[in-house]
Amino acid sequence: MSAVFCKRVEEEVARRAAESEYSSAMSSFVGYVTQALVLLNHPVAWPMLLAWVMSIASMEGINCLLAGRARRHYQDEQAMSRYLRMHGLGTFLCGLCWGSSAWLPGLEADSLPFIVNIFVMVVVSALSINILCLNWRALAGFNFGLLAPTLVKNAMQGTRLSWVICLLILLAFGFIQAYGYKVRRLVRSEIRGRFSTERLTQDLQAKNEELTAALSVIERTASEDPLTKCLNRRALQERFGRQGSRRKSDAQAYGVIMIDADHFKAVNDAHGHDAGDQVLVALVQRVHAQLRLTDACARWGGEEFVCMIAEVDEAGLLATAERIRAGIDDAPILLTNATALQVTASMGVALLLPHDELEDAVARADGALYRAKHGGRNRVCR
């Protein structure tokens, strides 16, 4: 396990220990006040009971304040280490106050209050296992303090029965610690399991995000031209296929514009292929500037590009192609070496017929492009 994981486990153990002690200290008055009320009607003087109740209340109040502060600072390793040590001492003194009821004068004069007192201490001792199990010092300290007065009292009597009672008390103390150890291991195992699950979930989420990002990159790489970043030929064909049913039901047709950069070979020959690549990138940017979000542009091959225009008639298709042509011819393309090249493009357009495949319309647009080239270039033909 990593140090960070172990630290989180210890922080959660400390937090739960503080929470349990705080809740216990806040509610323990029910036990000792009820015990005092039972003893009040029997041969135990009320001033002694009041002093006994006040001693327990004082210790529980101190423990409550310490636990309340620890709940707010459980991520401070040094502060929690100090608290856990003080917690052991505090619970020992609290247990000693509880157990001192065995020394209340007159308690043994009546068997009923004596039995009630023993019963309450047994219940308190049993409850302490779950409340204090996460801090073995606190569990051992509380139960030792709780049982010590009865142990000492019986040892002082020196009878055979009293020695048997002492042995039973020691066995009970050992059983409580053994059971507390088992419960502590179970709770710590549950905490480690929960944190391991959280960490696994976070790792899976991170891996899923990485995979999603990687798939997005792969999908984008597979569908775009690496140089110009517009769609590639396959991606345009797939997009055409996805829009097939819609295209056939629309009142307006779809059209294609085939674009070819004029004298592109001369650019490569005169300025190099890097300059030619820059020209193509700039040309695509100018084409995209004239398209709508519903339109698409793809590199068909070399310096040829095909635009698919949605919901357009012949006049609108020609107008769009003319805007693209004018946008390309509008200003020289500035290369990285500060050379300015005036670039033009020839275009052929064709409407998609209801049962056309994309290649059918592209073939007609290619024929129109051929006429534009032979008609003087930098023009649109249909």
Neighbouring C-beta atoms of residue 283, cutoff 10 Å: 24
E strands within the chain? 231-232, 255-261, 296-301, 304-309, 333-334, 340-341, 345-351, 380-381
DSSP letters for 163-178: HHHHHHHHHHHHHHHH
At how many degrees (to 10) do helices 233-242 and 160-223 cross? 100
Q: Which of 125, 120, 47 is nearest to 91 (CA)?
A: 125
Q: 230 CB contacts (<8 Å, ≥6 apart)?
A: 224, 284, 287, 288, 297, 298, 299, 305
Q: List the catalytic residue out of 303, 311, 322, 359.
A: 303
DSSP letters for 14-29: HHHHHHHHHHHHHHTH
Neighbouring C-beta atoms of residue 72, cutoff 10 Å: 11
Distances from the Cα of 158 to the Cαs of 30, 104, 162, in angstroms? 35, 20, 6
* Residues linked to residue 333 through DSSP beta bridges, in sequence order: 341
Local structure of residue 103 (DSSP, 8 states): G
Q: 244 CB contacts (<8 Å, ≥6 apart)?
A: none
Catalytic residue list contains 303: yes
Q: What is the largest CA-CA distance in the chain?
A: 128
* Cα Rg, the chain, nearest whole Å: 44
Distance CA 373, CA 382 (A): 12
Which residues are annotated as catalytic? 303
